[in-house]
């Protein structure tokens, strides 16, 4: 994983600073980790509780770091996250040309429109301060992090500088016209963006390179990931969601995208199955679950386009038993026959082979992550995390656990937390101090992102000018 996270904002075109659009030779060679930019705190609040102006006004006057607080509680109803401090609409200033709605999509569109109209701007950071836990959103339709990822990509398109593509040592000039997105706020969400936890992972892959992974939470929930086998030998994970309750799941997938999932109930030794279909977008449409037997440790495989075989273990004798099945895609059911004891081993559940490739899933700590971190290895790449595509950077804040510090490039704390911020700068990280509202908050060196509520006051303009802030 690349070392993640950065913030960029250019100072105002005021006395002592360069005119907007001009670039000094020194600035062109400045690396992001050494650069200082103008930033605002609670940017969406405009002039409601301070003097920031509208988002467009801030951008026009050199701000290159925008903060948007987002709420997710109504996502399934409105189809989007909403802007607001303590709740949707709270402290949101709709005047001065700001969007009339609280929908995140509308606010991102305004930033994107400005960026497109000013293609030589210094790298612009859009930070999302996540006010709710997004990892408890059951699926894409409920607003999980896959949905947020897609919204960021839809808003900024080719201008989006994805975190996974960041190159250490990049200069300010090399990223002009780019938009950088950053996840802040809820720490569970930030950790969940970079890894997932689970038990008993199982996987299936077809000859088209489509992949389905299933696992249980250890507490009764069943979850899936879908992805594709990439040209670089890595799995590109696409969608994630909860589909049922139970434990020890297994899954089979054919080349048409049809799948059959089997699992044991959480509280009994009953066996259940789902029929599903994997869409081109990576989403799975599941049928209702049906009980088909009693047993433990189920395993399953396609033996033909619509024929299956399931092998599980008896909970009382430890012997293996089998079923053969016929899949009905129209009825979304399996007709099970030929239930008998078998000397055959259960099918492997944690490894799948198809199209000349192989993928294995397992749990293992990755540095500071928990031991139940879901991982995958392919025939070409070993030990990747099962996680969302890293489009956004993830912020590390003072007080976060070591897991969030691992690989982080953006560090942040209140402006009064000078020891943390100074140490971050000294160690080559990008430091943001929020509520930076007086010259007395300045550290030496100045934080990269002094996020203020008063960007146009003379003390702030003078401080940024004296510090050589980047245009």
pLDDT tens digit sequence for 174-190: 999 999 999 999 999 99
| Non-local CB neighbours of 120 within 8 Å, separated by 6+ positions | 21, 176, 177
Average pLDDT of the residues of the chain = 93
Which pLDDT band holds residue 29 (cuts at 50, 70, 90)?
low
pLDDT band at 471 (very low <50, low <70, confident <90, very high): confident
Q: What is the pLDDT of residues 386-445, one digit of tens each?
A: 999 999 999 999 999 999 999 999 999 999 999 999 999 999 999 999 999 999 999 999
pLDDT tens for 2-24 read 333 333 223 333 323 333 334 44
Pairing assessment for the beta strands 449-452 and 430-434 based on DSSP bridges? parallel
Q: Whole-angstrom Cα distance, residue 188 to residue 131?
A: 11
What are the tens digits of pLDDT across the range 200-221?
A: 999 999 999 999 999 999 999 9
Task: Quick: pLDDT tens for 138-147.
Answer: 999 999 999 9
Stretch 73-90: mean pLDDT = 97
Tens digits of residue pLDDT in 91-123: 999 999 999 999 999 999 999 999 999 999 999
Nearest to 64 by CA among 114, 131, 2: 114
Q: What percent of the chain has pLDDT over 90?
A: 92
* 280 CB neighbour count, 10 Å cutoff: 7
> Which is nearest to 246 in space by CA: 261, 269, 264?
264
């Amino acid at each position: 994983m690349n070392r993640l996270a950065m913030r960029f904002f250019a100072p105002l075109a005021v006395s002592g600073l360069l005119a907007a659009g001009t670039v000094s030779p020194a600035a062109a060679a400045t690396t992001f980790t050494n650069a200082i930019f103008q930033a605002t705190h609670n940017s969406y609040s405009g002039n409601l509780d301070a003097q920031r102006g509208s988002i467009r006004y801030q951008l026009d006057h050199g701000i290159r770091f925008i903060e948007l607080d987002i709420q997710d509680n109504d996502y399934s109803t409105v189809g989007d996250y909403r802007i607001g401090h303590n709740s949707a609409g709270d402290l949101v200033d709709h005047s001065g040309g700001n969007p009339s709605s609280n929908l995140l999509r509308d606010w991102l569109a305004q930033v994107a429109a400005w960026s497109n109209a000013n293609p030589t701007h210094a790298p612009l950071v859009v930070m999302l301060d996540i006010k709710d836990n997004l990892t408890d959103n059951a699926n894409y339709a409920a607003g999980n992090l896959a949905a947020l990822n897609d919204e960021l990509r839809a808003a900024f398109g080719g201008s989006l500088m994805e975190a996974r593509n960041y190159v250490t040592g990049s200069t300010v000039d090399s990223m002009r016209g780019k938009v950088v997105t950053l996840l802040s706020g809820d720490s569970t969400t930030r950790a969940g963006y970079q890894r997932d936890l689970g038990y008993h992972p199982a996987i299936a892959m077809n000859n088209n390179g489509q992949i389905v992974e299933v696992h249980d939470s250890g507490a009764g929930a069943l979850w899936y990931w879908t992805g594709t086998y990439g040209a670089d030998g890595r799995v590109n994970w696409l969608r994630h969601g909860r589909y049922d309750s139970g434990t020890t799941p297994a899954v089979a997938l054919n080349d048409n995208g049809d799948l059959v999932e089997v699992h044991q109930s959480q509280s009994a030794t009953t066996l259940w199955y789902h029929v599903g279909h994997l869409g081109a977008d990576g989403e799975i449409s599941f049928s209702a679950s049906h009980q088909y037997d009693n047993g433990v440790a189920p395993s399953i495989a396609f033996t033909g386009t619509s024929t299956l075989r399931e092998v599980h273990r008896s909970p009382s004798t430890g012997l293996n038993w089998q079923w053969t099945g016929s899949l009905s895609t129209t009825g979304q059911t399996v007709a099970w026959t030929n239930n008998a004891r078998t000397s055959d081993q259960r099918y492997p559940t944690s490894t799948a082979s198809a199209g000349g490739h192989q993928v294995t899933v397992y749990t293992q700590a990755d540095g500071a992550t928990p031991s139940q971190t879901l991982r995958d290895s392919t025939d070409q790449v070993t030990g990747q995390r099962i996680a969302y595509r890293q489009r956004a950077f993830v912020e590390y804040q003072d007080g976060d656990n070591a897991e969030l510090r691992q690989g982080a490039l953006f560090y942040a704390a209140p402006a009064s937390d000078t020891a943390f911020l100074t140490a971050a700068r000294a160690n080559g990280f990008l430091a943001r101090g929020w509520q930076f509202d007086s010259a007395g908050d300045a550290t030496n060196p100045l934080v990269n992102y002094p996020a203020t509520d008063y960007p146009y006051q003379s003390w702030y303009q003078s401080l940024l000018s004296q510090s050589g802030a980047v245009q």
